[in-house]
Amino acid sequence: MIVIFLGPPGAGKGTQAAYISQKRGIPQLSTGDMLRAAITAGTPVGKKAKAVIDAGELVSDEIVAGIIADRIDEDDCRKGFLLDGFPRTLEQARMLDDIIAFRNRKIDVVLALQVDENALVDRLNSRIQQTKDAGGEVRSDDNVETFRKRLEVYSTQTAPLIPYYRDQGLIADIDGMKPINVVSAQIDSVLDGLS
């Protein structure tokens, strides 16, 4: 099962992808997590990505598509995988189509998390607070200014993926404004309907 999570920053993609990953036993592939790991490890990709991420902009299509292409060839992706934060541009979506077709696989569904964008800044502030309360480190791009930039990048570069996938009949609309467990239940019912 190959599932894509689409939605603006703070819509709950990571939370829901983690739930589904655990429940269905397929890995969650988050390009954001992979890039942050590359930054921490000080790899050449990490060095290139740091300033771009801190500015709330997008890392190059080639870099992220390359990371995903390598990752899905690993054994644990044989049964399927969840893409969280990729693709984020039309070019990435086309690259993903090629990557998947080359491996004789297909995308099963694209979950479009619909949220009221005005609520997202409030969610960001709670995420910052919760991280601090738990003694964790707040992401360097989790501040209101960078977040607004990430939202703008989403609207201009990522939102066009919704009509792209809708035309292919792959979109399932999910009401992301509901409580976390209700959103999970909506996703479960979409995924149960696939198999």
Contacts to ligand AMP from residues 89-128, by CB under 6 A = 92
Interface with ligand AMP (CB under 6 A), residue from 45, 56, 110, 174: 56
Give the shortest CB-195-to-ligand AMP separation in angstroms.
27
Beta strands in 7-61 (DSSP E): 28-30
Query: 112 and 6 in contact (C-beta within 8 Å)?
Result: yes
DSSP state of 157: I
Asked if 26 is part of the footprint of ligand AMP (rule: CB under 6 A), the reply reads: no
Cα(150)–Cα(8) distance, integer angstroms: 8
Asked if 17 is part of the footprint of ligand AMP (rule: CB under 6 A), the reply reads: no
Give the shortest CB-183-to-ligand AMP separation in angstroms.
17
Asked if 21 is part of the footprint of ligand AMP (rule: CB under 6 A), the reply reads: no
Asked if 88 is part of the footprint of ligand AMP (rule: CB under 6 A), the reply reads: yes
Taking contact as CB under 6 A, which single stretch among the options 19-27, 58-66, 94-102, 105-113 is the one that binds ligand AMP? 58-66
Cα(150)–Cα(117) distance, integer angstroms: 12
**Which residues make Cβ contacts (< 8 Å) with residue 179, sequence separation at least 6?**
none
In this complex, which beta carbon is closest to ligand AMP, that of residue 76 or of residue 152? 152
Interface with ligand AMP (CB under 6 A), residue from 53, 96, 172, 191: 53
Which are the catalytic amino acids? 13, 88, 127, 139, 150
Question: 86: closest CA among 18, 11, 33?
Answer: 33
Interface with ligand AMP (CB under 6 A), residue from 11, 39, 110, 150: 150
Query: 24 and 191 in contact (C-beta within 8 Å)?
Result: yes
Query: 27 and 14 in contact (C-beta within 8 Å)?
Result: no
